[in-house]
Structure 1
C-alpha cells in the first residue's frame, strides 16, 4: 500500500506524514492482534499435545515445527531488512569515511600465546593453548558412545507402560546413530606434556591483564614482580588476620546508621567472611610487562555494604568526581578517557561523533586476542552455534547499519581464527543468523503433566556428537 498526495503545500505534506503514521499504527495493531491470537492457539495446542502424546514424540514434533517456523521467519526477516536498508540509504546518504573515521574491520588481533620464559614448547602445545584456558579437550571415544547408548537404554526401560518404550528407543537410536565421535586423545596427551613442563620448570600459566592472551611466566619472576609492586607502594605485613576485627567494625557501622540503612531489605554483612586474596596479571601491552594487582573481595566483610554505598554515589562533573576520588590515596589514582578524533571507546563499542549525530561501531581493545570458544572444544554443538549467532545479533544491535557489512567480515575472520568451518560461518553469518531468534512462547499445562504416570526422569552423561 502506498499513500500519496498531489498537493505539495506544507500543510499537505504534514497531513501526508500524519496519514502514514496512522496507517502504520493500524497495521501494527492488526499484526499484534494476529500474534496474540496465534499465541493463544499455540497454548491450547500445546496443552492437548502434552496430554495425548509421549514426551519423546512431542520433542520430535516440536523440533520439526520450530525449524519450519525459523526458516519461514528468516525469509520474512530478510525481506523486511532489505526494505529497511533501502529506507536508510534513501534518507541518509552517509559515508563512514567522510569524516576521516576508519573502521576496525582489518584490525590485527594480539598474540594468543606469549612465552616469557626460556622453556621451549612444541608447535602442538602452542596450538592447544591458542584455543584458550577454557578449551575442553575431546577425550571421548567410540567406546564412550557405546556406553552412552547403554545408559540411554537403561533410562528408557523405566518408561511405563512398557508398550511406549519401543517408540522412544527408536527415536533415540536414530539420534545416536547420527552421532560422530572421533577416537582422538591427542589433545589430552599434549595437555599432560604442558602440565609436566610447567611443573618441572616451576612455571605459571595465566591469562594476561587484557585480551585473554595466555602467558608463560617463571614463578620466581612472578613473585619478584608482585613483591616489588607491594614494596614500592608501602604495603606492610600484618602479624595477625584482621578479618574478624573488621567484620565487627562493619556491623558496628551498620548499627550506627539506622536512618541511612533503614530501607535496606537485604543483609549488608557476609556470613563467614575471609581475608581478600591478592594475585597479579601481566600487562603484556606495556613495556617490561609490569604486573597488575587484583584483589578478590568476593568474601570480604564489607562487600555488600560497599555495593550498596556505591549505588548511592551522587553524580557530578567529571573533574570534580576525579579530584574527589584521587584525594584519598596517592597510590590509588583514577583516570578518565575523553574522545579523540571525534570518537571514544566504551566497553565493546566505539561512539563516533559525526556532526550532530552519534553513531556506534564494534570496538576491540588493542590487546584483544580475538579468542572465543574453539570449535574443537568438547562443548555441546548448540553452544558453539549460539555463540556465533548471538555474537552477530549483539554486534548488529550495537552498531549503526552503515557498519554492518564490515562487522560481518570481521566476525567471520574472528571465528575462522577459532577453528570454525567457513561453510558453517557462511550459513550462520550470511544467511540464517541474520534473523533474530524466533521464539514461540507456550505455557505448560502443569495439571495435565502431573496427572500423567508415564513421566520418568533419568540422568545420562553428556557426550559430544
Structure 2
C-alpha cells in the first residue's frame, strides 16, 4: 500500500468516526480526539476568556486603518530595517487568521543602534495599537474576537505580555501580605516563590492577586519541601544550612525526542 492510499484510509477512518487530529502543546506530539469534544472544549475556552463571536467580517475595516498607518510609519520602520518599502510591508491578499486548538498534555551578537525621534516613538505606539487590534480569527466557519488579552500567534504578543508581567510584579510587591515574600523569580509565566507566612495567608494572597490583576494566578505548593519548577526538582534542606538541592525533572508526558545528528538545521533561524 502506497503513502497516498494510507493517507486516504486514515482520512476515511477519521471522518467515519468523527475524529480530528491536532497538535499537542509544546511539541509533545499529535493528538487524536473526538471532533465534537474538540469544538466544545475550544468554545469553553472562548467563554472563559471573554472571546465573543462576530457577526460581520472585520477585515475590511482593519485594512482601512492599516494602509494609512503603515504609510505614516514607513520612515520609522525603515530605520529599523532599511529594505522595507511600501510594496513589501503589506500582504497583498490578507486573510483572517484561522485558529486551531492545541491539546495541553502537561501540568502546568550583533547590535544595531539608531536614534528615534519623538515622531518615531508615536509611530511605533500607533503600530503596536494596530497590531493588538488584530485580535479576531475564524474557528469552525465562525468569526470571533478577543475582548481581553493579546492576539494569539502574534510575534509581538509575547513581548507585550512580558512587559505587562514586569509591570504587575512591581505592583505585587506593595500589595497586602507581600511582606511574606522572601524570594520571587519569574520565567515567562512560571514563578518560583519562597513564602515565610502560613498557608492561610498564602491562600489570601492568591485571592488578592486574582482580584486585582487581569491575570489568572494558580498555586502549586511544595510537598515534603520539594517542588518541580520548569525542568528542575528543587528541595529545601531543613538543616542548619537551609540550602537547596537540585535535580533534573521530566514531565510525565515528556517524549524525550531529540534531533538526529545529521538532521538539517537552519542555523540562522
Task: Report the TM-score range of the alignment, normalised by the length of the smaller protein.
Answer: 0.3 to 0.5
> TM-score under structure 2 normalisation?
0.43
Higher helix fraction (1 or 2): 1
Higher strand fraction (1 or 2): 2
